[in-house]
Chains A and B, each alone.
Chain A
């Protein structure tokens, strides 16, 4: 499975590079989807099919759909492509490339300097193993993540609340508030 791992990893790296360099937002998202599927393949090759399938279901199948959805709704068109094109000139690349390059060198040095603590054997980890780990040693993380998700849910509910259901007086106030805000930002 080592060959599959390197192939999938190469696909992931190349497609992620194309995400950054694509000038069309939908094409960039398409490459990001390919990259996520390639990462799922990496999980498969390492013997974690459960994690791999979840990667496709959650990231490629749900989150990226919402990204594509929003980009479609925005209807960016040719203007966005031209703007992106102007941003992608070589001068813009120098600063970020140097910073990222330093970090890459640091990581490579750290990886080769530290002793190897056990290797991945490609042993199959099934759903039951993942569940036992999650609700055993990592139960605190699961609880914290669920609280975070609850907070996100409450926020989404608040943002998506239907204003027409509130009393009229209340709505007028909020509208005045809104216009004042707008004026404030414009000045």
Chain B
């Protein structure tokens, strides 16, 4: 076994880890679609899907079978290449972002210097999924939904980046692992409370979840940008949205709540608990809040959240300057 050098073994382990994390993210996203319906139902005092399997746990399998065997129809008036490309971008860009999330001290795909920025880059690419879907469908509802979605995402991405700069400034690095270890004394939620609030709002808006789901508003746009999609292409948009929810929850847990750190329990459990808490919070928000008007959403982003993040960043910078020892 001369080829089984330590480097090869390390590479194989890293590849296996990456595949496990990828599959874990996809399965978590897919399962979430069932969990959300069930949990929403419980909160709204009804049963939800409880027919397939014990407690409805096989509902996901039934949904997937239905989706796979549906006719995968591409409208004749659509721009075929871009129409096919859009769902792939929707899913891939969000899945790639899982690369930077450190799950435990030893688990994680990439340990990059520019970690957090990589997430912003992928979030920026993710806009094209909606934009291209809306354009290629050649449908007025899809186009309007895509226009709304891209304007909303662009506006909210501006201060999503700024809201995390306080965290970056405190840790002194974009590296996610170093950000987690920098929170050993105190979780970022306390000094960066406003950063947390604005990042939460921006995260919901960027994944187009309720109450920021105007791009998909069914009463005005009858589903928005993915109105022409069917079968697995639609399924990819659908799962992509839930993958986005898991991703934002994992990011919040990592950036503001100390990631894998915590007493007694092993790191992986702490990470999953914290992420699960925010996933549940996302679902609860959908159950609790009505959908605001579109212009209010845009106004709130630009007139309230953006100034708040700028002030937060300024104050954070001032505090760091005052407290840090002077270096020449």
Residue numbers of A with Cβ under 8 A of B are 24, 26-27, 30, 33, 49-50, 52-54, 56-57, 60-62, 65-66, 68-69, 72-73, 124, 126-127
Q: Which residues of B contact A57 (CB under 8 A)?
A: 117, 120-121, 124, 161
8 contacts between A and B (CB under 8 A): A50-B113, A52-B114, A53-B114, A57-B121, A68-B128, A69-B150, A72-B147, A73-B147
B131 at the interface (CB under 8 A from A): yes
Give the most central of A52, A61, A72: most B CB within 10 Å: A61
Residues 262-306 (chain B) with a chain A CB within 8 angstroms: none
B319 at the interface (CB under 8 A from A): no
Q: Are B113 and A126 in contact (CB under 8 A)?
A: yes
**With the chains together, A73 CA to B113 CA distance in Å?**
38
**With the chains together, A126 CA to B113 CA distance in Å?**
7
Q: Which residues of B contact A33 (CB under 8 A)?
A: 128
The answer to whether A26 and B79 touch (CB under 8 A), given A57-B117, A68-B135, is yes
The answer to whether A53 and B117 touch (CB under 8 A), given A65-B154, A72-B134, A73-B147, is yes
B242 at the interface (CB under 8 A from A): no
Interface of B is mostly: helix
Residue numbers of B with Cβ under 8 A of A are 79, 81-82, 85, 112-114, 117-118, 120-121, 123-125, 127-128, 131-132, 134-135, 143, 146-147, 150-151, 154, 157, 161, 173-174
**With the chains together, A127 CA to B81 CA distance in Å?**
37
**With the chains together, A69 CA to B114 CA distance in Å?**
28
Q: Which of A26, A49, A54 contacts B82 (CB 8 A)?
A: A26
**With the chains together, A117 CA to B3 CA distance in Å?**
41
Q: Which residues of B contact A60 (CB under 8 A)?
A: 121, 124-125
Give the most central of A26, A60, A126, A127: most B CB within 10 Å: A127
Q: Are B135 and A26 in contact (CB under 8 A)?
A: yes
The answer to whether A61 and B112 touch (CB under 8 A), given A53-B118, A72-B146, is no
Q: Are B128 and A72 in contact (CB under 8 A)?
A: no
Q: Are A61 and B113 in contact (CB under 8 A)?
A: no
Chain B nearest CB, measured from A24 CB (Å): 8
Q: Which residues of B contact A126 (CB under 8 A)?
A: 113-114
Chain A nearest CB, measured from B121 CB (Å): 4
Q: Are A72 and B118 in contact (CB under 8 A)?
A: no
Q: Which of A66, A68, A124 contacts B113 (CB 8 A)?
A: A124
Q: Which residues of A contact B123 (CB under 8 A)?
A: 61
Q: Are B147 and A69 in contact (CB under 8 A)?
A: yes
Q: Are B174 and A65 in contact (CB under 8 A)?
A: no
Chain B nearest CB, measured from A152 CB (Å): 15
Apart from A69-B151, A72-B135, what 11 extra A-B contacts exist at CB < 8 Å?
A26-B82, A26-B135, A33-B128, A53-B114, A53-B118, A53-B120, A57-B161, A61-B125, A68-B132, A69-B147, A72-B147
The answer to whether A65 and B128 touch (CB under 8 A), given A26-B135, A72-B147, A127-B174, is yes
Q: Which of B131, B154, B173 contacts A72 (CB 8 A)?
A: B131
> Shortest 8 CB-CB distances between A and B: which pairs?
A61-B124, A56-B121, A53-B117, A49-B114, A53-B114, A126-B113, A72-B135, A57-B121
Chain A nearest CB, measured from B233 CB (Å): 18
CB-nearest residue of chain B to A49:
B114
**With the chains together, A54 CA to B118 CA distance in Å?**
9
The answer to whether A30 and B121 touch (CB under 8 A), given A49-B112, A72-B134, is no
Q: Are A49 and B113 in contact (CB under 8 A)?
A: yes
Chain A nearest CB, measured from B294 CB (Å): 16
Q: Are A127 and B114 in contact (CB under 8 A)?
A: yes
Chain A nearest CB, measured from B86 CB (Å): 11
**With the chains together, A26 CA to B113 CA distance in Å?**
34
Q: Which residues of A contact B146 (CB under 8 A)?
A: 72
